[in-house]
Amino acid sequence: MGCPPARFSLSCILPFLPYSCNPVTETKYQPDVIEPKWQKAWEAAKLFQATEDSAKKKYYLLEMLPYPSGVLHMGHVRNYSIGDVAARYKMMQGHSVLHPMAWDAFGMPAENAAIKHGVHPAKWTRENIDYMRSQLRRLGFSYDWNREFATCDPSYYRWEQLIFLKMLERKMVYRKTSLVNWCPSCETVLANEQAEGGVCWRCEASVEMKSMTQWYFRITDYAEELLRDIDLQLGSWPERIRTIQRGWIGKSEGATIDFELVGAVREPPLQEKITVFTTRPDTLFGVTFVSLASNHPLVAKLSAGTPEAKKVQDFVERSARIDHQARLAEKYEKEGVFVGAYCKHPLTGENIPIYAANFVVMEYGTGAVMAVPAHDQRDFEFAKKYNLPIKVVIQPGKNVGAVREPPLQQAYADEGVLIDSGEFTGLSSRDAMAKISAALGERGQGGPTVTYKLKDWCLSRQRYWGAPIPIVYCDVCGPVPVPEKDLPVLLPEDVPFTGTGGSPLAKSERFLQTSCPTCHGKANRVTDTMDTFVESSWYFFRYTSPGCDRAAFDAKKVAYWFPIDLYIGGVEHAAGHLIYCRYYTKVLRDLGMLKLDEPVVKLINQGMVIKGGAKMSKSKGNVVDPDDLMAKYGADTMRLFSLFAAPVEGDLEWSNAGIEGAWRFLNRVWRLVQGWCKDVGAGLPRPYKTDDIIRLQHHTIKRVTEDLERYHYNTAIAAIMEYLNALSDTDVRSLPASALETLVILLAPFAPHMAEELWRALGHQDFLVRHPWPSYDAAVLQSSTLNIVVQVNGKLRDQVSVPADATEDDVKKVALASPKVAAHVTGAPKKVIYVPKKLINIVV
RNA sequence: GCCCAGGUGGCGGAAUUGGCAUACGCGUAAGAUUAAGGAUCUUAUGGGGAAACUCUUGCGGGUUCGAAUCCCGCCCUGGGCACCA
């Protein structure tokens, strides 16, 4: 490997010294030799087995569990490298650390593989898990593998089925009919991603919407608490995620208002009313029509038998088609049709025409809107198109009676002062909202209301590879829960995978046919399985007691380990998994299974790994294979680069040159430490001159520790690099052992295999995760002289060295004495600003 | 359209509180070493200028002794939501 790295070493002038004559014996850095060796040693010593030790502080470090897609990608390597730094750092700080890993093993790709390649989903999944586990092991992550499980294990999903049944008892789960994507040619339900562009992924037939009975979690009951706790308990989550979740829950306050139908036009008279939701009850007197979603149940009822019936039906059908075909691609024009009926204004009693309109969605609010064209842009456009009246009821500012300019160019949507609004005229919008809502409440015509965008969570999936929903349908008794003693409802293995003709489970007679637990008559099992987000909503509780066979988890162990101190995963789960797991925690709390409001204290979203500016993907052909990198550089280099090249939360641009840099750095560390060891072994005289080195050593400990605390892993590594550069610039022989030990210890969370190997080379026997994290001595950091920056009028002119105890006047004298400064100071300074120990600014 | 995050050398990025802009790494150039290549080591490396100096953190203003950092306006990029009543 050539000369030892001491750049100003005496060896230059004393070439007879043994270490410069004998370079061939220097050992080479061979990650393929040392990495497997230490992985085995760590395992044999059970280093990463988590224990509930009341004498220690606990630390629960969680990374999002992977879907076993086949092979690890660089995103996994990055995610888990970040986690491993935190885990090893906390172990070195003496915490009892829980750092587990499992497999999110149910899901559609396994089933797709079965349909396409004829391999059973279970086999496909197990083989993928085996391979990916071997990759994780080769990367040397500090997982407690004793706690590993796959969510497709019956010993896992049986508890999920039990939790479902308990939720059912508490009415936290219910059944309702709703629309799913249906391929008429394959005769099967499609997931949204299988129905992109309104076309079936397999046969390209046009997708239809079909009504099916499905199961729902009543997550909307928790909307308010989920929203509230974002502010109360998730202070350490990224603002970005908190914003997304607030928007997803989508709370909006307003009023519901009832519009009675005018019955005279219909025979027999309809008793129903239309309920609308509005955030602007203050504009109630400006209502000139009411708009219903085209699929609102009243649309068909009201138009039936009227001259408009045919037109309405055409419109409804047209809207339905547009609806499920990529409606977000183009903004389509507002359209609608008179349904042939009227309702009554709740306060004025006026007749109000009812329209079906394509811009009203059934899924939000009540699916019906009171239209105020003067004060809502959408209603305005609609009114213009169909020549409907526009009635101004809000004036900007406080001057009631200000001139209105009748041909409005657009709606005035801001708040203001009410006009032409009966007894409410003259009130501000704010006051009117409260008073009008209250008045409606008193009259039994609605009242103040809060709505949420968050919808109940449909958990039914018409798929095979998932946890069966533990329900039996009996012709006599209806849906009946499977008794607890009969759990788990096992997923049968011998089913056909054709991708057509409905769910494979429905074709398994043995699975399908059963008897009713209540009446013992013939019954059929539910052939739907649960959404895989259900598994990932509670897996982190199972880690605390993965073998527990009496319950989903051991409440005592949950109490010890929870909450999760740090959770690391991608931002793509902001609105899905990260809301569901919060919801599930609250549900389990309310079921009395644990005492916890929120599962995760601190969340970090690592950025994506990109190449050429785009996310790595097979279709783009820009993927980097971790196996290739492993063979070429080993685990430590991969880990180091993925931590160094970008801040944790930023995207990481992949760079082949960059990983070479990480490799070079580790080789330099290796050569320095091995060279030093050999030097010491040779028993050479050791002319210590250590003041600067010791100070730098403590300074580096400080920097690395502080950067680890705030998860700035890239700058922590930069600090170690600077430290190495300084050590390399010093005569090897003058380096005290502690200087090299510090280097190795600080490197341990980032490049654990090399650190372990060098730690032994330095003569130690303990494992580094059991070695205490070093502390620094603030007194050592003090230097006897200080460097003071000298500015003139805010511009840097010189730096001066002063004794550490120099006063402001001392510094001023020294600064003014500098020729570089004097050149810019003509007369007496106007003003001098002194920042102690840092800077002096002379204003002239 | 609304709401978040961001914009710093040739590139990835650094700069805990307003106090030396460009740490660290990559790349590049020259040199040492080598039979040669690779590896390694040394030196240089934001722009302009011979130099003194000067300009420079998306753009334009402002506050301040002093601004990448704070304030106002604008441009661009990424993300979220989106006829949400």
Q: What is the DSSP letter of A782?
A: -
Nearest 10 degrees: CA dihedral of A83, A87, A89, A94? 170
Out of A251-260, A395-404, A537-546, A742-751, pick the least confident: A395-404
Residue A414, C-beta contacts closer than 8 angstroms, at least 6 positions apart: A394, A396
Nucleotide nearest to A243 (CA to C1'): B4
**Distance of CA A269 to CAs A172, A301, A362, A446, A621, Å?**
37, 11, 25, 22, 65
Identify, with chain letter, the residue nearest to nucleotide B40 (CA–C1'): A2
Distance A240 CA to B9 C1' (A): 30
The DSSP H or E segment spanning A739 is helix A737-747
Length A816 CA → B32 C1' (Å): 44
Report whether pLDDT(A792) > 60. Answer: yes
Q: What CA–CA distance (Å, rounded) separates A630 from A31?
A: 9
Considering only CA atoms, name the residue closest to the C1' of nucleotide B33.
Answer: A2
Of the candidates A513, A460, A547, A518, the one whose C-alpha atom is nearest the C-alpha of residue A159 is A547
Query: Cβ-count burial of A781 within 10 angstroms (0-12 exposed, 13-18 middle, 19+ buried)?
Result: middle
- Burial profile A201-238: b = 16 or more Cβ within 10 angstroms, e = fewer: bbeeeebbbeeeebbbbbbbbbbeebbebbeeebeebb
A783/B49 CA-to-C1' distance in Å? 38
Short-list A771, A774, A830, A840, CA closest to A801: A840
Per-residue model confidence as pLDDT tens digits over A106-149: 998 999 899 889 999 999 999 999 999 999 999 999 999 999 99
A789: which nucleotide lies closest, measuring CA to C1'?
Answer: B20
Distance A16 CA to B31 C1' (A): 26
Closest protein CA to C1' of nucleotide B19, residue: A839
Per-residue pLDDT band for A21 (boundaries 50, 70, 90) equals very low
**CA to C1' distance (Å), from A788 to B51:** 27
Nucleotide minimizing C1' to CA distance for residue A367: B85
Report the distance from CA of residue A826 to the C1' of nucleotide B52 in Å, as an integer: 17
- pLDDT band at A14; cut points 50, 70, 90: very low
Per the DSSP assignment, residues forming a β-bridge with A60 are A98
Q: Angle at which helices A635-644 and A713-728 pack, to 10 degrees?
A: 110
Q: Which nucleotide is nearest to A660 (CA to C1')?
A: B26
C1' nearest to CA of A648: which nucleotide?
Answer: B13
What average pLDDT does this structure show over A530-543?
Answer: 96
CA angle A530, A536, A537 (to 5 degrees): 90
CA of A93 to C1' of B23 (A): 28
Q: What is the DSSP letter of A333?
A: P
* Domain A162-218+456-532, CATH: 2.170.220
CA of A723 to C1' of B47 (A): 31
pLDDT tens, residue by residue, A346-387: 999 999 999 999 889 888 999 999 999 999 989 999 999 999
What six digits make up the tokens of A763? 């003569």
Please state which architecture CATH assigns to domain A783-843: Roll (3.10)
Quick: pLDDT tens for A544-568. 999 999 999 999 999 999 999 999 9
As a rounded value in angstroms, the CA-to-C1' distance for A239 and B5 is 9
- Of the candidates A155, A156, A157, A106, the one whose C-alpha atom is nearest the C-alpha of residue A129 is A106
Q: Which nucleotide, over all strands, has the C1' atom closest to the CA of A705?
A: B16
Distance separating the N- and C-terminal Cα atoms of chain A? 58
Report CA(A405)–C1'(B3) in Å, whole number.
Answer: 33
Confidence check: pLDDT of A326 > 60: no
Q: Which protein residue lies nearest to nucleotide B81, measured between its Cα and the C1' atom?
A: A247
Q: Which tokens hold the place of A560?
A: 């010890």
Place of tokens 């799913």: A180
Nucleotide B80: closest residue by CA–C1':
A244
Q: How far is the CA of A748 from the C1' of B17 (A)?
A: 31
Paired tokens of A303: 């138009």
What is the predicted pLDDT for the residue at A66?
96
Q: Which nucleotide is nearest to A245 (CA to C1')?
A: B80
Give A382 CA → B83 C1' in Å: 11
Taking the model in full, what pTM does it have? 0.91
The CA distance from A115 to A499, in Å, is 6
When pLDDT is averaged across residues A163-190 and rounded to a whole number, the result is: 88
- Measure the CA–CA gap between A382 and A332, rounded to whole angstroms: 12
Nucleotide nearest to A719 (CA to C1'): B24
Residue whose CA lies closest to nucleotide B23 C1': A718
pLDDT digits over A609-629, tens only?
988 777 787 777 788 899 999
CA-to-C1' distance for A701 and B25, Å? Answer: 20
Q: Point out the nucleotide closest to A328 (alpha carbon to C1′).
A: B82
Q: Which nucleotide is nearest to A702 (CA to C1')?
A: B16
For A643, counting Cβ atoms within 10 Å of its Cβ (0-12 exposed, 13-18 middle, 19+ buried), the class is buried
Q: Nucleotide B26: nearest residue by CA–C1'?
A: A658
Which pLDDT does position A18 carry in this prediction? 30
Taking the C1' atom of every nucleotide in all shown strands and the CA of A843, the nearest one is B65
Structure tokens at A226: 């989920």
User: Helix, strand, or coil here: A356?
Assistant: strand
- Picking from A329-343, A441-455, A497-511, which range would have the lowest pLDDT averaged per residue? A329-343
Å between CA of A398 and C1' of B73:
28
Please give the protein residue whose CA is closest to the C1' of the nucleotide B6. A650
Both tokens assigned to A820: 């570089």
Q: Which nucleotide is nearest to A360 (CA to C1')?
A: B83
Going by their DSSP bridges, the two strands A564-570 and A600-606 should be labelled as: parallel
**A480 and A472 Cβ atoms separated by less than 8 Å:** yes
Complex prediction ipTM: 0.95
> Are the beta carbons of A178 and A187 closer than 8 angstroms?
no
* C-alpha distances in Å from residue A45, one per residue of A39, A399, A755: 10, 81, 17
Q: Is A587 helix (H, G, I), strand (E, B) or coil?
A: helix
Q: Which CATH class is domain A252-451?
A: alpha beta
> Any residues with CB less than 8 A from the CB of A458 and at least 6 apart, and which?
A178, A214, A215, A216, A531
User: Taking the CB of residue A804, how many other CB atoms lie within 10 A of it?
Assistant: 10
Q: How far is CA A608 from the centre of its chain?
A: 12
> How confident is the model over A391-439, as pLDDT tens digits?
999 988 655 455 555 667 888 888 889 999 999 999 999 999 999 999 9
Confidence (pLDDT) at A13 = 29
CB distance A356 to A315 below 8 Å: yes
Distance in angstroms, CA of A290 to C1' of B83?
A: 15
Distance in angstroms: CA A260, C1' B2: 34
Q: Where are the alpha helices (DSSP H) in A170-283?
A: 223-232, 239-249
- CA separation (Å) from A322 to A187, A209, A226, A300, A687? 22, 12, 34, 18, 83
Q: How far is the CA of A656 from the C1' of B28 (A)?
A: 17
Side chain identity at residue A696, one-letter code = L
Interval A787-813 mean pLDDT: 86
pLDDT at A259 over 60: yes
Q: Considering only CA atoms, which residue is closest to the C1' of nucleotide B15? A: A715
**pLDDT per residue over A685-731, tens digit each?**
566 667 888 999 999 999 999 999 999 999 999 999 999 999 998 88
- CA–C1' A669–B41 (A): 15
> How many angstroms separate the CA atoms of A666 and A563, rounded?
36
Task: Pick out the nucleotide with least CA–C1' distance to A239.
Answer: B4
Q: Which residue has the tokens 């309405």?
A: A312
Q: Is the peptide bond before A268 cis (omega within 30 degrees of 0)?
A: yes
Query: What does the alpha-carbon distance between residue A587 and residue A162 come to, in Å, rounded to a whole number?
Result: 13
Q: Measured in angstroms, what separates residue A808's CA from nucleotide B63's C1'?
A: 27
C-alpha distances out from residue A102 to A131, A145, A531, Å: 13, 9, 18
- How many Å does it take to go from CA A825 to C1' B83? 66
DSSP assignment of A653-711 equals E--HHHHHHHHHHHHHHHHHHHHHHHHHHTT-------HHHHHHHHHHHHHHHHHHHTT
pLDDT above 90: residue A766: yes
Instruction: Kindly tell me the number of DSSP H helices and DSSP E strands found in chain A.
Output: 27, 30
Q: Say what the pLDDT of residue A11 is.
A: 31
Q: What nucleotides of chain B have any atom within 7 angstroms of a protein Cβ?
A: 3-5, 11-16, 19-21, 23-27, 39-42, 53-54, 65-67, 79-85
Cα-only R_g, chain A: 35
Shortest CA to C1' contact from A283: nucleotide:
B85
Strands A522-525 and A289-293: unpaired
Angle at A489 between CA A488 and CA A493, to 5 degrees: 115
Nearest nucleotide (C1') to the CA of residue A835? B19
CA A744 / C1′ B82 distance in Å: 53
Domain ranges of chain A: 10-29+656-777, 162-218+456-532, 252-451, 783-843
CATH superfamily of A10-29+656-777: Isoleucyl-tRNA Synthetase; Domain 1 (1.10.730.10)
The nucleotide closest to A378 (CA, C1' atoms):
B83
For A391, the 3-state DSSP assignment is: coil
Q: How far apart are CA A589 and CA A74, in angstroms?
A: 37
Query: Distance (Å, rounded) from C-alpha A540 to C-alpha A63?
Result: 10
